[in-house]
Every structure is written in C-alpha cells, then in structure tokens.
Amino acid sequence: MEKIYITTAIPYVNGKPHIGHAVDYCLADCYARYHRLKGDEVRFQAGTDEHGNKIAQKAKELDLPVQDYVNENANKFRDFIKKLNVSYTDFVRTTDESHEKRVQEIWRRLSDHIYKAKYEGWYCTGCERYVTKKEFDETGGVCPDHQKPYEELQEENYYFRVSDFKDRIREAIVSNEMRILPEFRKKEILCLLEESPDVSISRPVSQLSWGVPVPDDPSQVMYVWLDALSNYITVIGFPDAKDFGEWWPANAQFVGKDILRFHAIIWPAMLIGLGLPLPQNLVSHGMVLCDGQKMSKSIGNVVDPIEVLESHGLDAFRYYFLRHIDTFADSDFTWDKYEEAYNNELANDLGNLVQRLATLADKNQIVISRDNNSRLSDEYIALMDGFEFSKAFDLVWNKIQELNKRIDEEKPWSLAKNGEIEKLKTCLHNLIDGLLTAVYELSPFIPDAAAKIIDIFSGKITTPKVPLFPKNHN
C-alpha cells in the first residue's frame, strides 16, 4: 500500500464554472479512485484561486466587495466539484488565513533567491502573466488567448532568480524524475525553460492590493501565481505538519496544457529553493472546445456544466468527459455528440446489457456466485499508470461491446426456452462475471453506475424496474 497525493489546478473565481473546468477534476478523481481500488491511501487536493487583478477588476465592475465576490464564486466551484462526485480530501482557498500565513513563510524561505529591481515590460491580466519582449513582438502586443493588448508596466518589483534552478529543473525533466505528460510537451517546456528570465513575483500595492502581503514590505503584494502554486503544499500543512513528508512529493499533478509552463518551471524552482522534492508526474490535459471553437463569452458558446449534468445525470457527464474528451488532445463538446454518446453507448451498450442479463437471471431464478471479479487487467493497469484515461476507458468499453456480441451469439433465452438449465446457468454465470469484471474497471470512471450494477447482481438478482440509462431523458 502506497501513500498517493494527487492535485488539481485551482480555478480563478472570476465567474462560475464552465465545462472546461471539469476536466482536471474528472481525470484526477478517476486516478484517485483507481489508486484506492489498488489499496493505496489517497490524499486529494482541490481548491480555488482567489487573488489577483483579474478577480479584483471583475468585483470592481460589479461594484462588490472583493471578499464577498470571491466567497460567492468559491461556493459555486465547491458545489460543482461535489456534484461531480469528486472524492477530494482537502480543499484550499487562497484567501484562507492559514494559506496566506504559510505562503508568507514560503516567501521568507526563498529569500536567498529573491531580489528587488525595476520591472519594465508587459502584463496580461487575463493570463495573470508577465510577457517577454519576444512574446510581445511575436503577438503584435495583443494576447492571442484574451484578444486584449498587453498592459505596459514600469514598477519596482521583487524577482525570483529562476536562473539559480535551471540546470536542476532541466535534469529533472530530461531524466523523468519529474515526468511531463504527454511526452511531446517535454521539448516545448525545455525550450521555454532556456528562454525563461527571472520571474517578477510581486506588484506594488498601488497597482494591486488584492493579494498576500509581501512579508516585511507593506508596499508590495505577491504575484498571484506564487501564491496559487503554493496551495499544493500549504493545504497539506507545509512547513509544520508532522506528516507533510509522508504525502509530498505529489504522485500526480493535473493541469491544463495552458498552465503547464507555470507548473514545469516556476513551481519546480520554488520547490528546489525550499529544499523539497519535485512532483513525480505533471499531467497536462487538452482543452474542451465547443463546436470546434475555444469557449468564450464573446463568441457566446460557453456551456454551463450544471445544465449538462442535469440533462442526463452524473454518469453521462463523467462518461463523456473521460472517454470522448481525449486525455491529452483538444476535444469537442456538442450537445449532439453528448446525446449520441448517451443513447448509443451508455444506454444501448451498457444499460441494455445490464437489463438483459438481470432479467434473464431473475426469470430463471439463477443465483450467481461471484468470487473472482475484483481484478484489473495488466493492459488496464498499464494505461492507467500511464495516465491514458480515455484509452483505458476504450479498453473497458470494448469488453462491454464484446459481451453484447456474446449474448447475441450464445442466445441464453433459447437455452431457457429449451429447458437447458445447466447450460443456461454456465452461460449467464460467464456473462455476468465478465460484466462485473468490466464494471470493476469502470468504477473509477463512472462510480455511481458501477455501484448500482454491482448492487443489481448482488444476492438475489431482480430485474431493475427503471433502466439504468433511460432514453428520452430530460
């Protein structure tokens, strides 16, 4: 039994959740449940990123006190995570007093690598990121993600000397001590690392007051990313919790590809500066697109995850986001695709299989002794350990489709009609055993449906009154 620590990116609370936010949670939760199946002890963080200009500006636009504004939105995120049945164990808000104190301690401990200097350059509030001259020139001074001109800054700031850590970070990435997934992003990150200047890690209070104060310098607040990245260790009690070292380093940190650069450069630099080991896996997933386009308020294609959840239930949501949203590539969400996956796959492949097998076993009073279906195949384990969740899901789904073929070929209803009871028993036993073995492997993906199916086939089997995945569901 191992101790496994899993983390998710903490979303900005400058609005309510959209469907893209579900990806981190679905992947991390699937991985956490997989480890629990293997008997590991799991600690699983989630939280909200509540400082920075982006949030302060939004609150100002709405004429709300910033704290009230973040309280309201943080609740929306927490509710959403709960609705997704995410099995997190620890939740952090960056406005928690205990987090802020710990971040200040982190700053103090990094002080040998911090210096004050004048910053002259650009900033994108949408990305909450300082922009290099090269990027500014390449983009014509307009952020390609936010379609807004970069802000020009001339400020006295604190800098973090990333150059002190570059060699060590490069070595950790190349040797896979800190494995970057998918593999093809490694090269991209190594290039960014070479180009990476020292990072400005504070803003003058006169420009931004909504942040953690820099220790011993009331004129400055911390850069939001320094504060946010620290959450992964503050939430498990760095520096003083006695069991901190039992959990850190994280086994896996899940982030979107858009924020991998912060996690693969600034974050390891901070950890090395603190004398801490690096995370074992940085898993960067692709983006959810809507109708082939990036979701954006101005295009008006932002999909509300609560609406999706309420339309076909939680299992359908997790099914789509873990199977049809590819783990590493960008993938599309459309209502048509969603409905199709629900009707043709969940309802037809899985729902009908369960219904047919349960009805046959019930009608013929067949009792199944199940002793051997809590096993994971080697191929499944290899895919899950490699964070290939959508591929692992495909693998299990093939088993479900295989069982559908077998039931059509072996025709247990004919055996029943002909009174071939022994043959019928063996046939149903094998099919139900196959189903339950597949369902065991499905349980990290769609835990609610898996629990219901296991329940149906436990003890005396009775025909479910309501199908698992009713059609024309609204």
Tokens at 32, concatenated: 């956490």
Active site residue 429: no
Establish if 358 lies at the interface with ligand MSP (CB under 6 A).
no
Active site residue 124: yes
CB 24 within 8 A of CB 284: no
Cβ-proximal residues to 228 (8 Å cutoff; 6+ apart), any chain: 10, 49, 51, 94
For ligand MSP, the binding residues in 231-250 under the rule CB under 6 A are 231
Establish if 356 lies at the interface with ligand MSP (CB under 6 A).
no
Least Cα distance to 275 among 165, 175, 170 occurs for: 165
CB atoms within 10 A of CB 275: 7
Q: How many residues bind ligand MSP (CB under 6 A)?
A: 19
Active site residue 127: yes
Report the residue number whose CB is nearest to ligand MSP: 256
Whose Cβ is closer to ligand MSP: residue 288's or residue 347's? 288
The C-alpha angle with vertex 226 and arms to 223 and 231, in degrees rounded to 5, equals 130
Active site residue 465: no
Which residue is catalytic, options 118, 134, 242, 297? 297
DSSP string, 273-297: HTT-PPPSEEEEE--EEETTEE--T
Q: Which of 4, 28, 31, 49 binds ligand MSP (CB under 6 A)?
A: 49
Cis peptide before 182 (omega within 30 of 0): yes
- Cα pseudo-dihedral 457, 461, 462, 467, rounded to 10: 20
Whose Cβ is closer to ligand MSP: residue 233's or residue 468's? 233
Q: Which of 4, 21, 178, 261 binds ligand MSP (CB under 6 A)?
A: 21
CB 121 within 8 A of CB 150: no
User: Checking DSSP bridges between strand 3-8 and strand 41-48, what pairing results, if any?
Assistant: parallel
Q: Which of 6, 20, 44, 106 binds ligand MSP (CB under 6 A)?
A: 20
- Please state the closest distance from residue 211 (CB atom) to ligand MSP, in A: 13
Active site residue 133: no
Establish if 74 lies at the interface with ligand MSP (CB under 6 A).
no
Whose Cβ is closer to ligand MSP: residue 10's or residue 361's? 10
* Burial class (CB within 10 angstroms; exposed 0-12, middle 13-18, buried 19+) of 362: middle
CA atoms within 13 A on the CB side of 351: 17
Whose Cβ is closer to ligand MSP: residue 234's or residue 251's? 234
Q: Which of 6, 9, 26, 221 binds ligand MSP (CB under 6 A)?
A: 9
The C-alpha angle with vertex 156 and arms to 152 and 160, in degrees rounded to 5, equals 100
Tell me the per-residue interface mask from 284 to 323 with ligand MSP, x by CB under 6 A, - otherwise.
---xx------x----------------------------
- Please state the closest distance from residue 208 (CB atom) to ligand MSP, in A: 16
Q: Which stretch binds ligand MSP (CB under 6 A): 190-198, 252-260, 350-358, 464-472?
A: 252-260
Establish if 10 lies at the interface with ligand MSP (CB under 6 A).
yes
Active site residue 143: yes
Residue 332: strand, helix, or coil: strand
Which residue is catalytic, options 30, 35, 113, 127? 127
DSSP string, 233-255: HHTTTTTT-TTHHHHPSPSEEEE
Establish if 51 lies at the interface with ligand MSP (CB under 6 A).
no
Active site residue 21: yes
Establish if 199 lies at the interface with ligand MSP (CB under 6 A).
no
Active site residue 427: no
Whose Cβ is closer to ligand MSP: residue 80's or residue 158's? 80
CB 449 within 8 A of CB 468: yes
- Please state the closest distance from residue 225 (CB atom) to ligand MSP, in A: 7
Which residue is catalytic, options 18, 58, 99, 391? 18
Establish if 256 lies at the interface with ligand MSP (CB under 6 A).
yes
Q: Which of 258, 339, 349, 420 binds ligand MSP (CB under 6 A)?
A: 258
Least Cα distance to 13 among 212, 284, 299, 57 occurs for: 57
Least Cα distance to 84 among 321, 302, 255, 296 occurs for: 321
Establish if 346 lies at the interface with ligand MSP (CB under 6 A).
no
Whose Cβ is closer to ligand MSP: residue 33's or residue 129's? 129
Tell me the per-residue interface mask from 206 to 235 with ligand MSP, x by CB under 6 A, - otherwise.
----------------------xx-x----
Dihedrals φ, ψ of 159, to 5°?
-120, 150
The C-alpha angle with vertex 81 and arms to 80 and 83, in degrees rounded to 5, equals 65
- What is the binding site for ligand MSP (CB under 6 A)? 9-12, 20-21, 23-24, 49, 228-229, 231, 255-256, 258-259, 287-288, 295
- Annotated active-site positions, please? 18, 21, 124, 127, 143, 146, 294, 297
